[in-house]
Structures are given as C-alpha cells and as structure tokens.
Chain A
C-alpha cells in the first residue's frame, strides 16, 4: 500500500508532470499515512494529536444530529402527506433527501479550496471538512441544490479564502453560507414552504409546514396568552427535545445535539467556557422576557425557549468554532454570553428574523477581536502597573 502510494505520487512531486496538483495527492497521502516527518527544531517530541483527529471528532459529534435529521426529514414528510411509514422508511427517505445536499456542499466547498491550494501551493487544510457538514445541517430541507452550491462556494471564497484561508476567517463559514441564502433568496429560506420535504405531493388538510419560531414570531402581535398555549401545544417540550418538529435539517433534535456537546466537551475540542456562557446568556434573556411578559412570545418558558429553533445547535457547534470565536479564555465567557443573550433578543424582538441565532453569532464574530483586545489590554495594564510599583 505504502509503495503503491509512493509510485502514484511520483508524477506529482517537484519536477514531475503534475507538479501543480501536488496538494491533491498530498491530501490523499496524508489522510492515509501520517507523514514520516521527524522534528528538526525545538522540542524533539510532539503530542500525538493533530488537526485531522480534532476535526474528525467534530464530525463524529455532528453525526447523531445528522442521522436524526435524516430520520426527521422523512418523518415530517410522511406526516405532511398523511401516510404512515415505519421509522426505517422515514430514515431512508430522509437520507435520499439529505445526502445529496451534503455531497453538493462538500463538492462545492472542497472544489474552491482545492483551486486555492493549487494556486497558493499550500497543503489542503482540514477546516472545511467540518464546515462542509455544518452547511447542510443548518439549511431547510427544501433548499434547491444549486443554491447550496452557490452559497457554499460564496462562503468559502468570501468568508475564508479572501481573508487568507483556514484559520484567518473572521466569520463562521457555515453561517455565512446560510446568511447569504437568507438575504439573497429570502423566500426559499423562511416562511412555511421550505421546512418539510413534500416532494411534489399534496399535503393533508391542516398541514401548515411552519416552524415553531415562525408560529411564535406571529405571537408578538397577539395579546392573549391562549395564543401561546396553542403554539406550545403544537410544539411540546418533549417533541422539541427529541426533535420530531420541523426545522433545519440538523437543528431539531436537542437530544442528539447534547450528545454531540458531550463529545466535544469531554474531548475538550470545544471550549466549555463559550458553550456554557452561551446557554446562560440565552437562558437569562428568556427569564428576563418572562418577567417582562409584554406579549405572549415573551411569556414562553425559558427552557422551552432554548429548546426551539437553532439555539442549541448554534450554541454547541457554531459559537465554539475557535477561529471566529474570542480567543482569550476570559473573552470566551463574554463572547458566549453576549451571543446567547442577543440570539434570544433578536428572535423575540424582530419577527422578520425568526432565527436570531445566526445573526447573533455573526455579530459576535465581528465583536470577538474587540473583546480579545480589551481582555489583553487588561493584561498589558497589569504588567505596566507592576512596573510602576516596582
């Protein structure tokens, strides 16, 4: 195997026929074999961990939510057309709907990445393996494939490569893809038509296709609390937790997201500081709203509030992206808290953006360097004061 790889690698090496395409074959080679590079300067030994294993862990953490998402796509589909189907059928149907989106996302994103790697003669980095899976999971199931392709290519190009590639992006790449579609094709990204795959079949009477957040945002105009009861009866806490409600592909099952969160926190791949403070921020905002209680939406119980929409998914998989997050340890508390706080604030106050999480996280991405600036500034001042006292 090793020899075979070395043989096919030859034409790609320096002076070889396909020298320019070296990053491609290098990506394959380093996927299969950790290269025999020994240390040459500094520490003679290095930790066994590498970025491949780290990124792979994120993918593993995403899998429960993805698999459940596939099931739920089928489940909602059969519910909508009024046919009863086994869980397996639901899952298989969902898989046929979801997998093309995943493939398109990877193909479009990796395509752009490869082109840039070849132009810049860089090795291909692992970052997009995660972004490429996140993008499908935050899309409504009825998003056309060509839109996925455009959005992914746009995000990789303008959110990542123009800033200098992996590790240099200011904004979360996956969220940029979603924000792009949200503003470029608003009718395809919100409303009642996109969350459930109908596949051209007729829905049963009484089917609305709306999401909990869509229904809830209508409540801001209401005044009776009966309206709230109607909505909460439609999306009970337990269903919201298990995930059998309409929504973006990967966001509905809070249980699966929590499994992912456990994997990320136990392996320390994601920062618990960011994650916990995000939930605390969102929860606190919800509590404040229930105290205020100016409209039925505000009266929604805080634990129900954070179980709906993409709040949990954002809090586990989006806010913890180390590149676009605050990078100082104290900064992570502030960053996470404000993002969670704003997510619920936007959601409740602005009916035009039922999903506030995306906006809140992107906004805090932009604020993260400033948070770090002040945290580091405090450290610098401490050092200066120490000198004055000495």
Chain B
C-alpha cells in the first residue's frame, strides 16, 4: 500500500501558546560532546540491570543495560568509547552510565532490517536498543512489544513553549525519516502522522504509507496525546504506540546506514546568549551543548521544554527523548506585592488570566521565571483548566479522582487516554498552584500496578 492521503483538519480551540523570549534562530552548529551518558531515569518505571563494567570498552550500539523485568528491552551506548563510571544514587539506584567518547566513533553490527516478518522486525528493534524510542499509551511508558497496538502515532510538530521547528530539523534527515516510517508501518496496522497547518517540509507532507492529519491551533495541538484523542481515542483495553520524529529518524539511519546513530538536531532556547539549533547526541553534556557559562544559582537549565522538561543543570545531560534545551531565570526572590507581586500592574508577567494585561494584548514575548507565583491553595477556581485542555475529559474531576486514588472513577473519566504532559498546561494556568503532572504520573503508575 503505497498511498498517502490527507484526511480532515482538526481545529484545536482550547489551549495556550506561552509566549517566552528566546526562540532559537535558524543557524546551526555541531557539538561533539566528549562525555556522554545514558540515564535509566529517562525511561519512566524502568528497573535497569547493568551489563557492562567500569573500564570496559563499548561501541555505539553496544548494550549497556537491560530492563530487569522485561530483558528483551535493551538500552545501547550512543557512542563508542570507555565506560568511565556507573553512577549510583540512594539504595544503589543506577542514575547514569558514563561513556568517554572515542575520537572516531565505531559502530556495533546492525542486523539487516530490509526483510522480515512483523515479529522479526520487532525482535531486531529490541536487540539494537532502538525499541526504547517506542512508547505507548496508556501509561506513557516504553511500549510493550507483545501487544498489538491499534496504531502508531507520530507528531510532526511541537507546539510547546519555544519548541524547535521540526520542518527545519527534518530537512537534513528527510530520507531517514521516510525509511523509518517504511519499516514501522510493517509492525502496526496503521501509522498516523499529524502535521501542522503551516507545515511545509516535504518529508512530512509527502510522507508515504501513512495517514496524514492536519492540526491547527495553540499548544497542546502538537502533543501526541491531543492528536490521538482527536484522531482515534484510546478505549479501555486498547493500546496506541507513539514515537517522536527523532526516533523515526534514528530507525531510518539504522535501516539505511546500519548504524545506531542517536545524533539529533536540538534547539537551544530561552535565556542564553544566542538561541540556535545544534546537532548533538542524546546524553550529551549540557555544558558542551550550551557552550557558555551559566550561573546555575540564577538560571535553571532544563533538558526539554519549560512545561515538561527535566531540571538538569549545566553538569546534566540531554534526555533520551528531548530535542530542546531551555534556560530560564530562577524565581527564588520574593516579589513585593505592589511592584511585582499580586497587586502589581504586571506588565512584565505572562498569564492566561484576564487579570493580567498579557492575556488582553497581543504578541509580546515575556521573560518568565520559575517562581510559583503564589502558594498552593484549595482547588477552588473552576473553568480555567477547561480552557486549555482540548480533551473530552473533565480535567478537574479526573484530577480529583487521582488525588483520592479511586481507580474505578479514573477509568470511567478517561485515564487511559492521558499522560502527564497532557496536563502540563492545566498545571501552568492553575490558580491554586497544584502539581498536576506529579498527580497524573502517580495515578498512571497506580493503575498500571493494580490493573495490568
């Protein structure tokens, strides 16, 4: 089936584009990080079993550790070199495996992906560590290779704050993207590729063998969860697989070049000297990527975007699934009531609430710090979450059911369709400053433990 067709346009009306300063300019450079890590903590819920020892030499694509409870799922080294450290935290929890990169990267052998049945392809993806890119809904974890999903969903744009332009990033890897899709479409009934109304990249618009859907509207239109909900929502008992564009490209490289190559284009955004695009590798050191000194007492360095990323600091590393680095001003200073606090005019503060001028006037971008801008309060304001949550799900009610851990009610209200990131905007706008992503994550873990 080598046909591609455009189906309907989905207009997302509920949502919010948070207008931050520091959009990456289309100017790119290449960063070689000498020091690269793989963090088991990037993969939620994983208990790793480490297969290498400190001092051992590895190739790019050699297995570093496996999932203790599902040993078929393996995780590979992004570069060749020497394992310098296996970093452990409390209770000897493995935090990161450090690899000192060789000057010239040598790659582990790659199986031939060109032919094989569905099971064989999945087997090969598992062996090579590329399976880690495949995630699933419900639960927002690495996909279970033994299930048959209803579809694979790929989002061809990112709408989160300061997100990179995928059109620009895919340009250089267009052939890999198509090669990845060609392989993936053999293991799922259908591949849904969601593009933005403004998408121009031929790699997306002319992708073969997939169903293309067009979305328009504010964030979270680019979140794959939003797209699944509008294209083909998940019912109880169903599974959908999801993969990022970077994952598809990495698989395409394995198919065409026979290399485990997780290098990628990322955007450096926010409070940096020169926001721009760089080519680097998953697990690269932030200091190398940023190429400037940042005072971490004053600035927060985030792997990922401002809504869902991880705070890593300059000594941290780029997360496995991340294609963006965000630097934000820390907000640890108290704000005086009349000048910057709750009674100020607030000309410099961004808000979705009509209580601040930002919600009334136009397109200005704002410098946004990490202050909570208030204290945690009872869940009293209604209607504000609904304005940024484009799901046919009651956000406040499902969150409450998660807070009092009523599994039955969570299921009825639609927990199988959501992931923590879907609630990031709700968390942003919440007047009562409730940590919603944490609540959703906890609830998903509970449901997974109790019901599956």
Q: Give residues in A with beta carbon < 8 Å to B.
A: 1-2, 30-39, 41-54, 56-57, 123, 125-127, 165-168, 266-269, 271, 322-323, 325, 327-329, 332, 372, 376, 379-380, 382-383, 386-387, 390
Contact = CB atoms under 8 A, between A and B. Distances in A.
A54 B432 CA distance: 10
A49 B355 contact: yes
A329 B386 CA distance: 8
A54 B431 contact: yes
Contacts of B397: 327-328, 372, 376
B233 interface: yes
26 contacts: A1-B336, A30-B375, A32-B336, A34-B334, A34-B340, A34-B371, A36-B334, A38-B330, A38-B371, A41-B438, A44-B370, A45-B18, A47-B428, A47-B429, A48-B346, A49-B351, A49-B431, A51-B377, A51-B432, A52-B342, A54-B431, A125-B377, A127-B380, A167-B379, A267-B355, A328-B397
A65 to B, nearest CB: 20
A271 to B, nearest CB: 6
B394 interface: yes
Nearest to A372: B397
B351 A47 contact: yes
A34 B342 contact: yes
Interface stretch (B112-120, B170-178, B300-308): B300-308
A50 B354 contact: no
A126 B342 CA distance: 13
Nearest to A387: B235
B86 interface: no
B427 interface: yes
Interface string B11-55: 000000010100000000000000000000000000000000000
Interface of B: 18, 20, 161, 233, 235-238, 300, 302, 306-309, 311, 326, 328, 330-337, 340-343, 346, 349-356, 358, 368-375, 377-384, 386, 392-394, 396-397, 412-414, 420, 424, 427-433, 435-438
Contacts of A52: 342-343, 374
Nearest to B360: A266
B413 A42 contact: no
Given A268-B354, A329-B386, A383-B235, A46 B378 contact: no
Which 7 pairs show the lowest CB-CB distances between chains A and B? A167-B378, A50-B374, A42-B437, A48-B349, A49-B353, A33-B334, A387-B235
Contacts of A50: 342, 373-375, 377, 431, 433
Contact of A329 (B341, B346, B383): B383
A44 B307 contact: yes
A41 B307 CA distance: 10
A165 B380 CA distance: 11
A380 B412 contact: yes
Given A33-B336, A125-B377, A43 B392 contact: no
Question: Among the interface residues A266, A267, A327, A387, which one has the most CB atoms of the partner chain B within 10 A?
Answer: A327
Given A44-B300, A45-B368, A34 B235 contact: no
B354 to A, nearest CB: 5
Contacts of A43: 306-308, 424, 427-428, 437
A47 B430 contact: yes
A47 B373 contact: yes
A386 B233 contact: yes
A41 B437 contact: yes
B373 A48 contact: yes
Contacts of B370: 38-39, 44-45
Given A43-B307, A51-B380, A322-B380, A36 B375 contact: no
A382 B414 CA distance: 11
A194 B224 CA distance: 63
B367 to A, nearest CB: 11
A126 B380 CA distance: 11
Nearest to B358: A48
Contacts of B386: 329
Contacts of A382: 392
Given A33-B341, A35-B334, A42-B438, 7 more contacts: A36-B334, A42-B424, A42-B437, A47-B373, A50-B433, A51-B432, A327-B397
Contacts of B375: 30, 35, 37, 50, 123
B337 A31 contact: yes
